[in-house]
Amino acid sequence: MEKEYSSVIKKIVKFISLLIFLYFFLLSISLLSASFKIFGKQFAEELIRTTANPFVGLFIGILATSIIQSSSTTTSMVVCLVAAGSLTIRNAIPIVMGANIGTTVTNTLVAIGHMPRKEEFRRAFSGSTIHDLFNIICVIILFPIELSTRYLERTASFLANKVSHIGSVEITSPIKVIVKPGVHLIKGFFVDFLSIPVKISGVLMLIFAIFLLFFSLIYIVKITRSSVIKRSELIFNKILGKTGLIALIMGCLFTAIVQSSSITTSLLVPMVASGIVNIEQTFPIVLGANLGTTVTAILAALTGNIAALTIAFAHLIFNVTGIIIIYPIKAIRNIPLRIAKFLGEKSAERRIFAIIYVLVVFFLIPGILIFLSRG
């Protein structure tokens, strides 16, 4: 009887510990975004404002979103500029495509948190880059189609005009409600209590966020590896093993509720790292997350603002079209999966490869192409 009681207490303690470290993990993700916004938002806004053509717009979308760690912020800037007449819908849509790629940098940075443990890191990096690869492949396919046919612009404009009279629906993210006070407290500590200049506070917040991310990831994986939490593996396998459609719907609904695809995909990374799920199981969840983040944008834009609605619908149609092209046929679906596994293997062999990948894909290539286009 005493042993059973002790076992129950241990399970409760482990579960509470997991919730605490999950909170720290989510707080670190929000702090990363907040700190990048402090010293990168103005630069990102200037980049978007000077978009000259669709090709440049695509890479501006990648770079701007990678800097500020938020596709929602990038999209909001785009909507404001379109509404003000400073940016055309034609040039705005490629920025949103680029933002779809740029937002995946968050979960790739989360994977780097697993770097000290080789096998864990291999799984984590594969699990995170599947999101990058899907969005990159979608852009490779759909960007030239959009340039030649304006398929996204025309379809999105048609839908926006049809539903613009419907009132907007406001959804409050429970995770943002829980995490926001922590972000304000830490920001207030550096800026108000210590009276540190805002830009330097941003750097200190970034360092603290990275430390908190590494710290929380270590303990999340430790707890999820234990025999008590291992039961969750059976539950996930039972739910996700049936059909990819269920996983896709789950990803869409969860993201619509939390209002952030980065939160959904970043939460999946430690689960893949600890072996609870594999990337084949998480792939449809990631696709659902891509859809979920556009659903909330559409609901929020149903205010009669045609610019906001058109951008939101273009984002949705882009993701839906990508899923229809890539996911149903196994041979095509396996392309991003195989590349993700290859990247995971290479990164596990040489850890520096992961750092180079992030710098080259999200910052160096977009930055060089933007610079050359203006030269």
Question: pLDDT digits over 127-139, tens only?
Answer: 999 999 999 999 9
What does pLDDT average to over the chain?
Answer: 85
pLDDT at 328: 92
Contact call for residues 133 and 339 (beta carbons, < 8 A): yes
Distance of CA 348 to the CA centre of its chain: 22
Q: What is the pLDDT of residue 32?
A: 83
Nearest to 14 by CA among 264, 231, 209: 231
Residue 314 contacts residue 153 (beta carbons within 8 Å): yes
Gap between the Cα atoms of 74 and 24, Å rounded? 26
71 and 293 Cβ atoms separated by less than 8 Å: yes
The residue with greater pLDDT, 241 or 355, is 355
CA angle 298, 302, 304 (to 5 degrees): 135
Per the listing, tokens 């659902």 go with 288
Average of pLDDT values for 345-371?
A: 93
- Give the tens place of pLDDT for each residue, 249-284: 999 998 888 878 888 898 899 889 988 889 999 999
Asked if the model's pLDDT at residue 219 lies above 90, the reply is no
Residue burial 267-299, b: 16+ Cβ < 10 Å; e: rest: bbbbbbbbebbbbbbbbbbbbbbbbbbbbbbbb
pLDDT in tens, 137-149: 999 999 999 999 9
d(CA 338, CA 172): 37
pLDDT surpasses 80 at 243: no
Higher pLDDT, 163 or 290: 290
Residue 275 DSSP one-character state:
T
The full set of domain ranges for the chain reads: 13-223+233-374
> Nearest Cα to 270, choosing from 103, 114, 89?
114
Burial code (b: 16+ CB inside 10 Å, e: under 16) for 184-221 equals: eebbeebbeeeebeeeebbebbbebbbebbbebbbbbb
d(CA 301, CA 80): 12
pLDDT in tens, 82-131: 877 788 899 999 999 999 999 999 889 899 988 888 999 999 999 999 99
In which band, very low, low, confident or very high, does the pLDDT at 168 lie, cut at 50, 70 and 90?
low
Shortest CA distance to 314 belongs to which of 129, 204, 155? Answer: 155
Cα 324 vs. chain centroid, distance in angstroms?
A: 20
Which band of pLDDT confidence, cut at 50, 70 and 90, is reported for residue 230? Answer: low
Between 246 and 296, the more confident residue is: 246
Per-residue pLDDT of 326-343, as tens digits, reads: 999 999 999 999 999 999
> Pick from 147, 183, 40: which is nearest to 102 by CA?
40
Q: Looking at per-residue confidence, does 24 or 50 come out higher?
A: 24
